[in-house]
Amino acid sequence: MASVAREEGGDYKGRFYLVLKRAAGGDGPPVFLTDVRWNSRRTAQRTLATMSDIELRRRMRSALGRAARPALA
């Protein structure tokens, strides 16, 4: 499931970002992809409406892979 979250702050640029959740019955917390940003909720929702399931799954795998890797010193 893809949705949009809003980051509070004075700057409107990139205020909205992508949030992915596993489908109903799936385990795990939501994944916040703060590197995927939009300036408005309308633009974000239009983009999500046009993204394929394959693209959303690819982004979820990528985000989970980044979260699993240890940070480089």
Helix and strand numbers (H, E) in the chain are 2, 3
How far are the Cα atoms of 19, 24, 70 from residue 37, in angstroms, in the given order?
Answer: 10, 25, 24
In this predicted structure, what is the pLDDT of residue 73? 47
The per-residue pLDDT for 34 is 85
The partner residues of 38 in beta bridges, in order of sequence, read 16
For residue range 35-72, list pLDDT tens digits in order: 889 999 999 999 999 999 999 888 888 877 776 665 55
